[in-house]
Homo-oligomer: A and B are copies of this chain.
């Protein structure tokens, strides 16, 4: 038992340190032994599946009972495994494509919880249980220290090596352009075709409306969107979606 705990600590620490988390996570108060177990009275696993399949929408915070579950999930191996399945499928898919090589073959990446991870912030703020606090969250973003999601960075490198260009399409506002560009480079994303941030003209529009409008513009400009990856369904729905979409896990927050 002690050995098991010791091993578990090593695993969490080593996985956490990939995201720069080792000194930042708070102590988890687990309600279950592992990321997939049943929690009496509420199945957090079912809740998460409901979120990931877009059956549960418009939610503002993670259910209090699921804080321990979501924390374990995000810090433990399951989040990484789930992300890896998505990006590995994307890599298999992209290797099957016939590309024209005319510089118009692109892949759209969302940024937060897709290219970059805000897990160090969320780990210190209840993994989505606390109501969204824009002041605190912006303080974190303004540090420009968000690490890459390792699986997405691997996909990014694969795409570049195959001659596909990357377009970042984010809900972050235009005034975060320089900071975001620096953060992306710092995290390992060294080049891109476009970095599209949310212009003030989209104020009041949903992410779904904003992002599908911007993808439409891209296609009008001759780009072929072979893939589109994001952690929110609002990254992936709305015409045009791109040839194929990849949903990364995110049980911490919802954006419409």
Contact = CB atoms under 8 A, between A and B. Distances in A.
Interface of A: 34-38, 43, 45-47, 49-50, 52-57, 77-78, 81-82, 84-86, 89-90, 239, 244-247, 249
A11 to B, nearest CB: 11
A86 B53 CA distance: 9
Contacts of A53: 52-53, 86, 247
16 contacts: A34-B36, A34-B37, A38-B77, A38-B81, A43-B81, A45-B78, A45-B81, A46-B81, A46-B82, A46-B85, A47-B85, A50-B85, A52-B52, A55-B89, A55-B246, A56-B89
A97 to B, nearest CB: 14
Given A36-B45, A45-B82, A49-B49, 8 more contacts: A34-B37, A38-B77, A38-B81, A43-B82, A49-B85, A52-B53, A55-B89, A55-B90
B85 A54 contact: no
Number of identical protomers: 2
Given A52-B52, A53-B247, A247-B53, A38 B85 contact: no
A43 B247 contact: no
A245 B202 CA distance: 26
Contacts of A54: 245, 247
A85 B55 CA distance: 8
Nearest to A92: B56
B36 A38 contact: yes
Contacts of A77: 38
A74 to B, nearest CB: 14
Question: Which of A37, A49, A54, A86 is packed against the most chain B CB atoms within 10 Å?
Answer: A49
Contacts of A34: 36-38
A112 to B, nearest CB: 18
A3 to B, nearest CB: 17
Q: Shortest 5 CB-CB distances between A and B: which pairs? A: A36-B36, A50-B85, A53-B247, A46-B81, A43-B81
A81 B39 CA distance: 11
Contacts of A86: 50, 53, 55
A48 B90 CA distance: 16
B89 A49 contact: no
Contact of A78 (B43, B52, B82): B43
A34 B247 CA distance: 25
